[in-house]
Structure 1
């Protein structure tokens, strides 16, 4: 579905992290609905490098871009030489999706360099280009504060990832004082959907539980499965990014506007895949967001964002992809 009537003909669009989950969905959206825009993907593709937790340092994967016809530039947002390469191109829009998004990484220096310092470098680049910056923030900025989650309230992150995103948002407010129509920050809640396979262990619980159900006829949940999150389908996240092109600058929540439990996910998956067993076990993590719920009223007003997918709708649409992944044994 096309989310804007604004002409993007001959516009140059940069997508950092464009080989990742959300970035690749954005790239394919532009290719389908705005074929006369020039889209350039910038990504540090998958290598053998891992964090101390064993997860890959880069989640970008070439298979997410097999149908992409635009230009691909390989680079690291923390590398000044790589940034200089794209700085030579004058962009109209920058969609900044690149980040260390693994919430279990404890290397604070690496996360803050990749998420905060690199964002500032890209912000300064966007000013030189006269490009509108649209970037990924996170519900991690709220930590475990009381829901509903409202921008400007209860922003007490409990891990360095959430802290890095809050730093980005604060930097945004600082820049907006002198450039009031320049930047839109989007605080993603729990995103799920196509092209998240290569996130591995950091993929959504919807994909992970779906694979468990299909492979084992059993899923495992933290006791007692009543933790609630705001799950948002990736196509609604794409919509928010596209709406931000002509939307008002600021920082906004991007969620479904509903809080649903992990047991609700189980029911939706059972509707698609048939009955399976549920095993409950103790949560081993010291930090875990027990309840998130995005206040999206400001997002609706400022961006014209109106999510199309309830949890049941999103899982129903995603079910075919989940089954294909399970059948191929890719996860």
Structure 2
């Protein structure tokens, strides 16, 4: 199993969403390009040596123990500390957020079956502005937002079709964004107290 990323798709027109695994891979960042190359190497091993290879294209995974430089952890931590939150671009960019336990479930399913690439996501999307409003509502704190220039290599929209993963792996995401953010917030508060 190779841990790939939605970054392999690159910038995609909204009319092409939700993304299916057959969509052309045109990454716009070094990270996305490295994931694309690794997928190609894995599939070469599959063709040459007959190995069963699965590439899981994770879409914006979040939750407890998320890396401190990832968006939700940064946002939540800064809001809890009363600090401003930096948003790159207008905030109208959309993401398909995947809770960590759903990503783990998909990985365990892929260990048992499947071949090729699969999108692992919630199958829905939300703007960053709406996600910040949701964070404000569940935390009871109003974030002070500082707008910054859009970052190079950052795509405008991600949204996955998860029908292939549903059909072939039996993948069913269980945790909606609001519940996932509540759990993430509880974990972060506890870890900041320690």
Structure-1-length-normalised TM-score: 0.54
Structure 2 segments unaligned to the other structure (5+ residues): none
Q: Which residue is 2:40 aligned to? A: 170
> 1:284: how far off?
4.9
Aligned mates of 2:134, 2:74 — CA distance in 1: 14
In structure 2, the residue matched to 1:322 is 188
RMSD across aligned positions (CA): 1.9
Aligned to 2:86: 220
Distance 1:135 1:265 in 2: 29
Q: CA deviation at 1:166?
A: 0.7
The partner residue of 1:237 within 100, 103, 107 is 103
Residue 305 (structure 1) shift: 0.6
Q: Which residue of 2 aligns with 1:34?
A: none
- The equivalent of 1:200 in structure 2 is 68
Where relative contact order (Cα < 8 A, 6+ residues apart) is larger, the structure is 2
Deviates more, 1:210-219 or 1:153-162: 210-219
C-alpha contact (below 8 Å) 1:194/1:321 kept by paired residues: yes
> Does the Cα contact within 8 Å between 1:158 and 1:287 map onto a contact in 2?
yes
Structure 1, unmatched stretches of 5+, are: 1-133
1:174-323 alignment runs, 5 A limit: 174-178=44-48, 182-196=52-66, 199-201=67-69, 203=70, 205-216=71-82, 218-323=84-189
Local SS of the residue matching 1:136: strand
CA distance in 2, matches of 1:210, 1:185: 30
Deviation sequence 1:49-81 (CA, Å, 0-9, x none): xxxxxxxxxxxxxxxxxxxxxxxxxxxxxxxxx
Q: In structure 1, how many angstroms separate the alpha carbons of the residues matched to 2:41 and 2:22? A: 14
Which structure would you say has the larger Rg? Answer: 1
Once the two structures are TM-superposed, the CA of residue 181 in structure 1 deviates from its matched residue by 5.9
CA distance in 2, matches of 1:296, 1:137: 15
Aligned equivalents of 1:273, 1:300: Cα separation in 2: 33
Question: How far apart, in 1, do the equivalents of 2:68 and 2:183 lie?
Answer: 21
1:140 equivalent in structure 2 = 7
Query: Would the aligned equivalents of 2:91 and 2:128 in 1 still touch at CA under 8 Å?
Result: yes
Does the 8 Å contact 2:89/2:151 carry over to 1?
A: no
Conserved 8 A contact 1:221-1:278: no
Residues 308 and 299 (structure 1), Cα distance of their counterparts in 2 relative to 1, 3 Å cut: same
The count of corresponding residues between Structure 1 and Structure 2 is: 191
2:31 to 161, 179, 185: 161
